[in-house]
A and B are shown apart, each in its own frame.
Chain A
Amino acid sequence: MWSSSSDNRGLSASSKSTSSSASSSSHSPFSPRLKTMEEVWKDINLSSLQDHTTNNYSTDHDHHQGANFGGTILQDFLARPFANEPSPPAAAAATASPVPASTMLNLNSVPEFHFFDNPLMQNSILHPSTDSCQVVPNVSGRKRVVPEADNNSGGDRKNQRMIKNRESAARSRARKQESAIHFFIFIVL
């Protein structure tokens, strides 16, 4: 079965992998995202690292193999300041709220485009490449991207409520204190 399709590495790659597909074909259900990812990887490979003969690999290999080979590529890529690579962060950042620059430069964290993509896709990318890339998948990275608008208004309301509760408690204590004062006066006098 596999031998018959072994000539066409693109097809075999797409049938082998679970959710990733060949670079040019779009068979997987996540193709729109995947195409973007593919473009991103292509941009990384083509534009940033010219000594590696990655062109052949990026077009022929499937996605996770590209990531495997690009383990060093990934780390090299991450080692570079992201300011020099406007296109890949731009493609990913367009879909998400701003992430602080410190996380972008952190080698131990997943590159920012992993935060905003489909989580299934995230797993597929990272799973075969964890040993080579030494990149720790940071699923909790989503927490950082929580939009602040809703939280702030909820927080303000909560704060208001808390302040009003405290004022009410202070008034209650004052009333209680006064009754104690009168009791004291009554007892003494």
Chain B
Amino acid sequence: MPRDPLIVSGVVGDVVDPFTRCVDFGVVYNNRVVVYNGCALRPSQVVNQPRVEIGGDDLRTFYTLVMVDPDAPNPSNPNLREYLHWLVTDIPATTGANFGNEVVSYESPRPSMGIHRYIFVLYRQLGREAINAPDIIDSRQNFNTRDFARFHNLGVPVAAVYFNCNREGGTGGRRL
């Protein structure tokens, strides 16, 4: 039985704690590129925000979507971990991110050094508008998904997916 890619890649550990997937969750770029764990996408493919589809069955259940890059600016030296690319709250089940409240707008991944992981994490909210103000998210840098979830009582994630991305012309090589 192969290990879970989320564990192998270190997503579980670096960004989130171990969890059990319980909601269908799909991320598609440009209506064509389906994101699966560990797939390699080019920056040109992920310029615009993807279509995010959430499963479930009850429209009264709301979800929060977080997209972070834990390898900013460089996987060998991730001192900006995690870099927040997108934050959407109050997404009703069975719908998509378009129906939610975009707290932090989507920022295109632009990795300059190394191969970065870009992780979508889905949390189930306890209720609607559980996350009121875009509180104290003054900077995308050094975001902490765990703390954010704990602070807003989001609990453990219900789903996650990630992809790899590096600079369009190559990883940028090693710079001391």
Contact = CB atoms under 8 A, between A and B. Distances in A.
A164 interface: yes
A163 to B, nearest CB: 10
A184 B2 CA distance: 9
B8 A178 contact: yes
Interface in B94-144: 115
| Interface class of chain B by DSSP | loop
Given A167-B76, A168-B76, A181-B5, A174 B37 contact: no
B2 A171 contact: no
Contact of A174 (B2, B9, B39, B76): B9
Contact of A178 (B5, B75, B76): B5
Nearest to A157: B176
Interface string B150-176: 000000000000001000000000000
Contacts of B2: 180-181, 184-185
B36 interface: yes
A177 B76 contact: no
Interface string A178-189: 111110110000
A52 interface: no
Contact of A175 (B3, B36, B76, B164): B164
Contacts, number: 35
Contact of A164 (B9, B37, B38, B76): B76
A182 B76 contact: no
Nearest to B5: A178
B56 interface: no
B38 A178 contact: yes
A182 B38 contact: yes
A189 to B, nearest CB: 12
A171 B38 contact: no
A175 B75 CA distance: 13
Interface in A152-175: 164, 167-168, 171, 174-175
B10 interface: yes
Contacts of A171: 10, 75, 115
Nearest to A167: B76
B9 A175 contact: yes
A176 to B, nearest CB: 10
20 contacts: A164-B76, A167-B76, A171-B10, A174-B8, A174-B9, A174-B10, A175-B9, A175-B115, A175-B164, A177-B3, A177-B8, A178-B37, A178-B38, A179-B38, A180-B2, A181-B3, A182-B5, A182-B36, A182-B38, A182-B39
Given A171-B115, A178-B37, A180-B2, 15 more contacts: A164-B76, A168-B76, A174-B8, A174-B9, A174-B10, A175-B164, A177-B3, A178-B5, A178-B9, A178-B38, A181-B2, A181-B8, A182-B5, A182-B37, A182-B38
The 10 closest A-B CB pairs, nearest first, are: A178-B38, A181-B2, A178-B5, A164-B76, A174-B8, A177-B8, A174-B9, A178-B8, A181-B5, A184-B2
Interface of B: 2-3, 5, 8-10, 36-39, 75-76, 115, 164
